[in-house]
Chain A
Amino acid sequence: MFNYIVRKLLGMIPMLLVITFLIFVGIEMMPGDVIDFLIPMDELARMTPDEVNQVREALGLNQPMLFRYFSWLWGIVRGDLGYSMQNSVAVSKLLLDRLPATLELSIAALLISTFLGSFLGVISAIRKGKIADNVLSMAGMIGVAIPQFLFGLVCILVFGIYLKWLPVGGRFLPGKEAFFERLEYLIMPAMVLGISMTAGVMRYSRASMLDSMNRDYVKTARSKGLSEWKVNLFHGLRVAYTPVMVLIGFRLPMLIGGSLVIEQIFQWPGVGILFTDAIRSQNTPIIMSVGLFMVLIVLVSSLLVDVLTAVLDPRVKLS
């Protein structure tokens, strides 16, 4: 197991190199010029092309692309994420500011979707064909079909504006930053992000549970005289849960990606807003750092899924 994990982690390095290089090439190919975002518009209008080139040279922007990629990479190796020239701060400081907000939102949403989704899915499977199942299946279908941004906007309208139960956006009021004081700000975005994922988890765990409940070993368990809840939980769910865990594991990176939209709608000061702003202003160090972070999450969560499957299912051997 340990060997496997080490081997997988080492295997990630070439993948990271390739993917970050591709992102770098992508940024290079974007139309527009970074200089436009570095120098205020009116000043730029008064500058001669020679002066602009001087600035470019001073900032090292005229170096060949490969050189700039490797100097970024060398920075990463030394633990330096780079410097954002647009905002005149270190990228590491920006990320440290923003990352906790995103993680807070994503983890809350992940917990909601995992527990609510698997609970409702199991209920739905056990009560198959009954009213509860039909209502849940219908709700699940609607949940999958509604886009997050629409759902978010409707929630803001209803709970934020009409009912005035919850704040319409932001993360906290200045000065009131304790967890319980900002909890009300978290509820709505976390619920919107969580519920839109719940539907998928629910449908998946229902299908997996139904499949498991029709297996012979469930009948064997029943023939042993076990009570219904033991049969469903220890035999039905125990086997059905492995594929659901895999689904949730592969969704981990989607939480960061998915929260981009939610962060925009709720003005949540997370990595999402930072990232979209960075792309608009061609802020290479930020795009690269966030990109690296996302790729890392994808790779690590797929490793996590492998390990979890091996732990949950004795038939799976890691090799």
Chain B
Amino acid sequence: MINDIVVKVRDLHVYFYTNQRCNKVLNGVSFDIKKGKTLCVVGESGCGKSVTANTILQLLPELSRIEKGSIEYQKDDQLIRIDQLQKNGKQMRKLRGEDIAIIFQDPMTALNPVYTVGHQIREMIFEHIPNLNKKQAFERSVKSLAEMGISAPEQRDREYPHQFSGGMRQRAMIAMAMSCAPKVLIADEPTTALDVTISAQIFDLINELKTQHETAIMLITHNMGVVAEMADEVAVMYMGNIVEYGKVEDVLTQARHPYTRALLRSIPVLGKGKDQVLEPVRGMTPDPFNRPKGCQFCPRCDFATELCENKMPPETFIDENHYVRCFHHEEVIKHAK
């Protein structure tokens, strides 16, 4: 079980520095990405989901830094401390694409418009398998396109991104990400820019990768429906912290953090009709430069006490795999029943 952990993130702190101000984007984030499992990270815009994903590949903007914590990557028998590698150094670059691949939110802009799709896939292949000749590389890129369900892959390989539809481009992105058979695939809101039917196809594709190649998947989303559908484990993020983390069935049915509960209450349920009462999460997300002193959710929370205002709750383990950052989690679950 322990050997299944591919990426292990512990107490990760990432700060951004802009205009002489410091934005503490991540404040102690811990989670594991496991072989053949999907970890879903949910949370509202600006809570640090994408930053977490980018930090694993050290793709952060220039004025930012990993302040504290560790990211460990299990490469066969070797343990690599990603946080200690040089940002664009040789070792880090070797991990990118070959071991850990990422796909981005908007496939419209994530592919370079002036190169053919095939060229962009082969760029990755040549970078990590340099001794291939042109023909082998071409076969490989065509194969990876075909595996992602792109018809006429040989012709598509020679086409430019603008000749692809949105869904096709995201497939091409995944084909590119998977072309070197990485152990970890990070998908940063891969379907936000696509329509619903297409996104279902993309999710099917990701699930296939999980079962067939045993790829460890980190899926970032803000859609609770996707979580229920896709996840083995869930991390709920709020303002730079994971407020609740655990197996999907535990988190969705036994949610112990007021924020998780609020999120679940705000989703419309199909079939309940138009009379159902939706409760949006009360209040506004705080200004990241002017954060609450204690628990970040405290100003919007029904259970908040003086303790919450002054102190950040620690990670409290309910069982081995389920933790929550809330002083009053027992009260929360009692209240729900």
Q: Give the complex CA separation of A217 and B172 in angstroms.
A: 13
Contact B96 A223 (CB under 8 A): yes
Contact A220 B110 (CB under 8 A): yes
User: With contacts defined as CB atoms under 8 Å apart, how many contacts are there between chain A and chain B in the complex?
Assistant: 70
A251 within 8 A of B: no
Known: A220-B111, A239-B114, A314-B160. A226 touches B127 (CB 8 A): yes
Contacts of A224 in B (CB 8 A): 96-97, 123-124, 127, 176
Contacts of A235 in B (CB 8 A): 112
A222 within 8 A of B: yes
Contact A315 B113 (CB under 8 A): yes
A219 within 8 A of B: yes
Contact A225 B162 (CB under 8 A): no
**Main SS at interface, chain A:** helix
Known: A219-B104, A220-B104, A314-B162. A225 touches B112 (CB 8 A): no
Contact A223 B101 (CB under 8 A): yes
Which residue from chain B places its CB closest to the CB of A217 in the assembled complex?
B112
B113 CB to nearest A CB, Å: 6
Which of A222, A234, A312 contacts B59, CB < 8 Å?
A222
Contact A223 B59 (CB under 8 A): yes
Q: Give the complex CA separation of A44 and B5 in angstroms.
A: 104
Q: Give the complex CA separation of A312 and B98 in angstroms.
A: 30
Contact B160 A225 (CB under 8 A): no
User: Chain A 39-78 against B: per-residue CB contact (8 Å), 1 yes, 0 no?
Assistant: 0000000000000000000000000000000000000000
Contact A226 B109 (CB under 8 A): no
B88 within 8 A of A: yes
Contact B109 A313 (CB under 8 A): no
Which of A216, A225, A228, A314 contacts B110, CB < 8 Å?
A216
User: Chain B 94-126 against A: per-residue CB contact (8 Å), 1 yes, 0 no?
Assistant: 111110011010100111111100001001100
Which residue from chain A places its CB closest to the CB of B63 in the assembled complex?
A129
A227 within 8 A of B: yes
Contacts of B104 in A (CB 8 A): 216, 219-220
Q: Give the complex CA separation of A217 and B160 in angstroms.
A: 14
A319 CB to nearest B CB, Å: 16
Which of A215, A216, A234, A315 contacts B162, CB < 8 Å?
A315
Contact B176 A225 (CB under 8 A): no
Q: Give the complex CA separation of A224 and B175 in angstroms.
A: 12
A221 within 8 A of B: yes
A164 within 8 A of B: no
A238 within 8 A of B: yes
B24 within 8 A of A: no
Most B Cβ at <10 Å: residue of A225, A234, A239 = A225
Contact B59 A219 (CB under 8 A): yes
Which of A220, A222, A315 contacts B160, CB < 8 Å?
A315
User: Chain A 265-299 against B: per-residue CB contact (8 Å), 1 yes, 0 no?
Assistant: 00000000000000000000000000000000000
Contacts of A219 in B (CB 8 A): 59, 104, 110
Contact A239 B113 (CB under 8 A): yes
Contact B113 A313 (CB under 8 A): yes
Q: Give the complex CA separation of A225 and B94 in angstroms.
A: 6
Contact B59 A225 (CB under 8 A): no
Q: Give the complex CA separation of A238 and B116 in angstroms.
A: 13
B328 within 8 A of A: no
Q: Give the complex CA separation of A223 and B120 in angstroms.
A: 12
Contacts of B128 in A (CB 8 A): 225
B170 CB to nearest A CB, Å: 12
Near B by CB (< 8 A), chain A positions 222-247 give: 222-228, 234-235, 238-239
Chain A residues packing against B (C-beta within 8 Å)? 215-217, 219-228, 234-235, 238-239, 312-315
Between-chain CB contacts (< 8 Å), 29 pairs = A216-B104, A216-B106, A216-B110, A217-B109, A219-B104, A220-B110, A220-B173, A221-B123, A222-B96, A223-B57, A223-B59, A223-B96, A223-B97, A223-B102, A224-B96, A224-B124, A224-B127, A225-B94, A225-B97, A225-B98, A225-B128, A226-B93, A227-B93, A228-B88, A234-B123, A238-B115, A313-B113, A313-B114, A314-B113
Chain B residues packing against A (C-beta within 8 Å)? 57, 59, 88, 93-98, 101-102, 104, 106, 109-115, 120, 123-124, 127-128, 160, 162, 173, 176
